[in-house]
Amino acid sequence: MGDKANTHPGAAGRATAADHPASVRNVVLVGHSGSGKTTLVEALALTAGAVNRAGRVEDGGTVSDYDEIEHRQQRSVQLSLVPVDWDGIKVNLLDTPGYADFVGELRAGLRAADAALFVVSASDGVDGSTRMVWEECAAVGMPRAIVVTHLESARASFEEMTQICAEAFGGDDPDAVLPLYLPLHGPQAPDGHAPVTGLTGLLSRKLFDYSTGSREESEPGEEQLPALEEARNRLIEGIIAESEDETLMDRYLGGEQVDVKTLIEDLERAVARGAFFPVLAAAPAADGAREGIGTVELLELVTRGFPTPLEREAPEVTTVGGKARELNRCDPDGPLVAEVVKTSSDPYVGRVSLVRVFSGTLRPDQTVHVSGHGLADRGHEDHDVDERVGALSAPFGKQQRALTHCIAGDLACVAKLGRAETGDTLSAKDDPLLMEPWRMPDPLLPLAIQAHSKADEDKLSQGLSRLVAEDPTMRLEQNQHTHQVVLWCLGEAHADVALERLRSRYGVQVDVVPHKVSLRETFAEPAAGRGRHVKQSGGHGQFAICEIEVAPLPGGSGIEFVDKVVGGAVPRQFIPSVEKGVRAQAAKGLASGHPLVDVRITLLDGKAHSVDSSDAAFQTAGALALREAAGEARIHLLEPVAEVTVLVGDDYVGAVMSDLSGRRGRVLGTEQTPGGRTLVRAEVPEIEIGRYAVDLRSLSHGTARFDRAYARHEPMPPQVAERVRQQARAD
């Protein structure tokens, strides 16, 4: 694998529709922001002949021309697909954002792929979020390999990074993370750094020199043999340890020479089943060179070592009614089952859906059933409709290259699916099926917005619905208590992209306003009030008097209204009017304009007039009585409290618990979990955790995550309540 003597396969270039699942590889690139994933994708496309030496596709754009926002922000913000052809194999490269705010795009890439390339920068190392993704892949047995980039940086060391990767990713078996090649260094520069000019193949004992602009093979010198043999022997032992031939290790230790062909075959099988994780190096190409250093070797690893879609278990599917259905593994002739892994909008084409086909064959102009998808709580409605597929295409930069079909195991872009959203299932019209959507992170950063102008207000609803259709990690809330429109996002960068897309893509300008939590009021002690509404100004007057008693109730009780009038002091027909009046006043609030809850209001007595009493008069009297009672009692301001669970590395537990206490939180307990992490449980006022998604990421260096759920409302401390009331009066 990767030690082929020729410098370039015969069949390379742009990818077309695949004819058999065995000729497809779906590979997702994973790594932190700035690790070099997009640069590596462009280098692989160049080596495969899909772009020219300037990195341009035929229309003049580049392979990374996907989104204007990405160009402005100088970082990837969405999943992108780059299909290339290498040695007759279609390789679908799925480039994912490295920034934590766009983890939804990463999860979509993992769902669509059958193997992962972890891109690690030699100058930055392995961060906590990359380790967490590695563990996710390990949990589902996804094959993985590691690519070390930025070897041109000063003080970059491939050997040191390989050791770091073995410690970070190897777990109990660091010998399962080993290099297939060693960097070949050129003359030392004045700063002491020796640039990488090629690679040394450990299994083949060959040097692959890229310094002249083409990949040239040669034999190692005597001075290079000791380091080569030491690394080679360790690699061979690592491969044999994962061999399915249980006798091979004994034979090797007994002195038998294992031929290279057997080693490569065992290596490929171990990589494909996720038992061995090779480390490769990648460096920029020499000026004018077609191949970047390590790109040929990497493409050979992908095409020969990574599994085909045929080796992936068929997904679990059900009928729309919930009955389980069995599928053959990746059968192009089976029933159609495809999944929308990404949704985007094109200003000329409209909505474009990136689809992974798991069974059957998808064709243009085919009528399919759209089912999904269980995210109604995030503003994504469930679907159960028929739609006609538009054109199928393979994306390449801003181009869409037409495809005649898309078989099981392959990916394609589908135009004109107006109702389908990310996570939805496409199936045959006469045989509707449903896949369980993958788990999406819960958006926990609120962004309250309002239309900038009347013209924007008219377009806001449609713009927001399109925005959330593209992004299942975003939740749209129309809060009936605070009367705010809230976009729940994963972080500040996610929020910035949402606002930019509203403005540039949908023509909607919005203003960000402070997010409000749903506060309440209640009586801290019993009180009584008398409402007197008597007006006489000639003609028909108004007359209503009522006396009430208010008593606090336990949290969650709401408002109880009790009638204890005797002797007809308030006529029976007006008692509902009193209740309506006090409930209306309770909804408006008393001391600070927040709804009144958890009280029992008892109507004790009153007076009426045979002519001037009316429904409206007793409603007013009821409201006045409640306001008078509030003036005679202490009113508690109630705030919502959330149950918060934080999963954090043991190194940051103390800092997290201290931070929660500083937010008026009550830590309820901790629980050890596998992987050196602790689950911290706490109750925290919601007003204190509006930006916790951002603050926790900073506090834990991106390694912690949290969940929150409403627990109850409880009294706010007096000093905090007074501050809130002053702010309300100022507004």
pLDDT per residue as tens digits for the range 702-711 = 889 999 999 9
Please state which of the ranges 9-23, 364-378, 625-639, 704-718 shows the lowest mean pLDDT. 9-23
HSE value, Cβ hemisphere, 13 Å, CA-based, for 207: 18
Q: What is the pLDDT of residue 59?
A: 45
Q: What is the pLDDT of residue 687?
A: 94
Percent of the chain's residues with pLDDT above 70: 90
Q: What is the rounded CA–CA span in Å between residue 731 and residue 725?
A: 10
Q: What is the pLDDT of residue 727?
A: 77
Task: Please state whether 274 falls in left (phi above 0), alpha (psi between -120 and 50) or beta.
Answer: left
Place of tokens 């068929």: 314
∠ Cα 312 314 317 (to 5°) = 150
Q: What is the pLDDT of residue 2?
A: 45
How distant, in Å, are the alpha carbons of 17, 385, 386, 431 from that of 426? 19, 10, 9, 10
SS3 108: helix
Is pLDDT above 80 for 17?
Answer: no
* Average pLDDT estimate for 469-494: 90
SS3 634: coil
Q: What is the pLDDT of residue 359?
A: 96
Q: What is the pLDDT of residue 731?
A: 66
Q: How confident is the model at residue 7 (pLDDT cuts 50, 70, 90)?
A: very low
Q: How confident is the model at residue 13 (pLDDT cuts 50, 70, 90)?
A: low
CB atoms within 10 A of CB 95: 26
Q: How confident is the model at residue 311 (pLDDT cuts 50, 70, 90)?
A: very high
Q: What is the pLDDT of residue 539?
A: 66
What digits encode the pLDDT tens for the residues 377-431?
655 566 688 999 999 998 876 677 899 999 999 999 998 888 888 889 999 999 9
Q: What is the rounded CA–CA span in Å between residue 567 and residue 82?
A: 83
Q: What is the rounded CA–CA span in Å between residue 98 and residue 80?
A: 12
* Average pLDDT estimate for 88-117: 92
Beta strand segments in 383-499, E: 383-388, 392-396, 399-403, 406-407, 411-415, 425-428, 433-435, 445-451, 475-479, 484-489
Q: What is the rounded CA–CA span in Å between residue 128 and residue 136?
A: 13
Is pLDDT above 50 for 8?
Answer: no
CB atoms within 10 A of CB 674: 6
| DSSP category for residue 260 | H
Q: What is the pLDDT of residue 716?
A: 93
DSSP assignment of 470-534 equals H-TT-EEEEETTTTEEEEEESSHHHHHHHHHHHHHTT---EEEE------EEEESS-EEEEEEEE
Q: What is the rounded CA–CA span in Å between residue 626 and residue 632?
A: 10
Is pLDDT above 60 for 62?
Answer: no
CB-based contacts of 228, cutoff 8 Å, min separation 6: 182, 200, 202, 205, 220
Least Cα distance to 169 among 145, 151, 141 occurs for 145
Give the strand pairing for 510-513 and 484-489. unpaired
Q: What is the rounded CA–CA span in Å between residue 81 and residue 31?
A: 16
Please state which of the ranges 250-259, 655-664, 722-731 shows the lowest mean pLDDT. 722-731
* Average pLDDT estimate for 7-20: 62
- Amino acid 584 reads A
Q: What is the pLDDT of residue 380?
A: 58
Q: What is the pLDDT of residue 190?
A: 65
Q: Regarding predicted confidence, which is higher, 163 or 51?
A: 163
∠ Cα 210 212 216 (to 5°) = 50
Is pLDDT above 60 for 72?
Answer: no
Q: How confident is the model at residue 90 (pLDDT cuts 50, 70, 90)?
A: very high
449 contacts 479 by C-beta, under 8 angstroms: no
| DSSP category for residue 542 | E
How distant, in Å, are the alpha carbons of 162, 433, 434 from that of 322? 47, 9, 8
DSSP assignment of 533-590 equals EEE-SSSS-EEEEEEEEEEE--TT--EEEEE---TTSS-GGGHHHHHHHHHHHHHH-S
| DSSP category for residue 621 | H
What digits encode the pLDDT tens for the residues 624-647?
999 999 998 999 999 999 999 999
- Helices 575-588, 615-631: crossing angle, 10 deg rounding: 50
| DSSP category for residue 685 | E
Q: What is the rounded CA–CA span in Å between residue 636 and residue 716?
A: 7
Q: Give all domains of the chain, ordered by start, each with its CATH number.
A: 12-311 (3.40.50.300), 317-435 (2.40.30.10), 446-513 (3.30.70.870), 520-633 (3.30.230.10), 638-730 (3.30.70.240)
* Average pLDDT estimate for 661-678: 92
Is pLDDT above 90 for 57?
Answer: no
CB-based contacts of 714, cutoff 8 Å, min separation 6: 555, 638, 639, 641
SS3 612: coil
What digits encode the pLDDT tens for the residues 119-174?
999 988 888 888 889 988 998 889 999 999 998 887 888 999 999 999 999 877 88
Q: Regarding predicted confidence, which is higher, 500 or 59?
A: 500
Q: What is the pLDDT of residue 10?
A: 39
Q: What is the pLDDT of residue 511?
A: 96
What digits encode the pLDDT tens for the residues 210-237?
888 788 899 988 888 898 999 999 999 9
Greatest mean pLDDT among 73-77, 78-82, 347-351: 78-82
* Average pLDDT estimate for 345-355: 80
Is pLDDT above 70 for 53?
Answer: no
Least Cα distance to 356 among 140, 17, 111, 137 occurs for 111
The dihedral built from the CA positions of residue 367, 369, 372 and 378, taken in this order, carries a sign that is positive
Q: What is the pLDDT of residue 553?
A: 95
For residue 646, the cross-strand partners are 680, 706
424 contacts 401 by C-beta, under 8 angstroms: no
Least Cα distance to 170 among 330, 278, 313 occurs for 278
Is pLDDT above 50 for 4?
Answer: no
What digits encode the pLDDT tens for the residues 511-561?
999 999 999 999 999 999 999 999 876 667 899 999 999 999 998 899 999
Q: What is the rounded CA–CA span in Å between residue 235 and residue 239?
A: 6
Q: What is the rounded CA–CA span in Å between residue 570 and residue 604?
A: 9
Q: How confident is the prediction for the chain on average, in pLDDT?
A: 88
* Average pLDDT estimate for 269-280: 94
Q: What is the rounded CA–CA span in Å between residue 274 and residue 20?
A: 23
Is pLDDT above 50 for 365?
Answer: yes
HSE value, Cβ hemisphere, 13 Å, CA-based, for 709: 3
∠ Cα 228 231 235 (to 5°) = 130
Q: What is the pLDDT of residue 702?
A: 84
Q: What is the pLDDT of residue 63?
A: 54
Q: What is the rounded CA–CA span in Å between residue 200 and residue 569?
A: 101
Q: What is the rounded CA–CA span in Å between residue 701 and residue 698?
A: 5
Q: How confident is the model at residue 440 (pLDDT cuts 50, 70, 90)?
A: confident
* Average pLDDT estimate for 311-331: 89
Which strands form 484-489's sheet, in the order they lie side by side? 475-479, 484-489, 445-451, 510-513
Q: What is the rounded CA–CA span in Å between residue 610 and residue 152?
A: 96
Is pLDDT above 70 for 60?
Answer: no
Is pLDDT above 80 for 14?
Answer: no
